[in-house]
Amino acid sequence: MIIERFYPKEWIDSTYEIDWESWYDKGIRGAIFDVDNTLVPHGAPADKRAKELFARLHRLGMATCLLSNNKRERVEPFAKEVDSLYIEKAGKPKTRNYRKAMEQMHTVPDTTLFVGDQLFTDVYGANRAGIYAILVKPIHPKEEIQIVLKRYLEAVVLHFYVTVRGAGKNG
């Protein structure tokens, strides 16, 4: 089915509930993240929770890369705060910058996770690049109008995801 290309491998409540140690034990060596509404509310600076997450990942030996369609002025300061590689104006869901992120992290699709809050950019791009995609619920409901409109379409896709997979979030 065409709609399945938008399905995440997992759908969970928050980036911050992922068991990173378990993923590391399974061979994951790099994590690519969307920023806004995945790590912090839209436009917010890196907070204590985000900084602690990236420090934890780096202690584990995981490389990290922020992959955002936003501009450098937004992404670069955040990346510095969490000590991560980054790619701004990524053009998601195009796969070129997913591949570039892996190249910079020295990983391949089988050793990389992607975490994001949008199906049609984040998850679809990761799926097309062969990366395991984890969808998280948006952190904050306040979003730009073009994202709000996409959320209505995402709801339809997620309805089928839940129906076909016989599972809600976390499955």
Domains of the chain (ranges; CATH) run: 28-140 (3.40.50.1000)
170 compared with 21, residue with greater pLDDT: 21
4 compared with 147, residue with greater pLDDT: 4
pLDDT at 171: 46
pLDDT at 1: 65
Name every residue whose Cβ is closer than 8 Å to that of residue 159 and which is 6 or more positions away in sequence: none
> How does the average pLDDT of the chain come out, rounded?
90
Please spell the DSSP secondary structure of 52-121, one letter per residue. Answer: HHHHHHHHHT-EEEEE-SS-HHHHHHHHHHHT-EEESS--TTSSHHHHHHHHHHT--GGGEEEEES-III
Six token digits for residue 127: 């799926």
CB 110 within 8 A of CB 77: no
* Tens-place pLDDT, residues 40-91: 998 999 999 999 999 999 999 999 999 999 999 999 999 999 999 999 999 9
In this structure, the number of other CB atoms found within 10 A of the CB of residue 143 comes to: 18
* Tens-place pLDDT, residues 78-99: 999 999 999 999 999 999 999 9
pLDDT at 102: 98
pLDDT at 144: 61
What backbone phi and psi angles, to 5 degrees, belong to 92?
-60, 135
* C-alpha to C-alpha distance for 17 and 48, rounded to whole angstroms: 15
* C-alpha to C-alpha distance for 108 and 20, rounded to whole angstroms: 17
CB 63 within 8 A of CB 106: yes
* Tens-place pLDDT, residues 112-148: 999 999 998 999 999 999 999 999 999 876 656 566 6
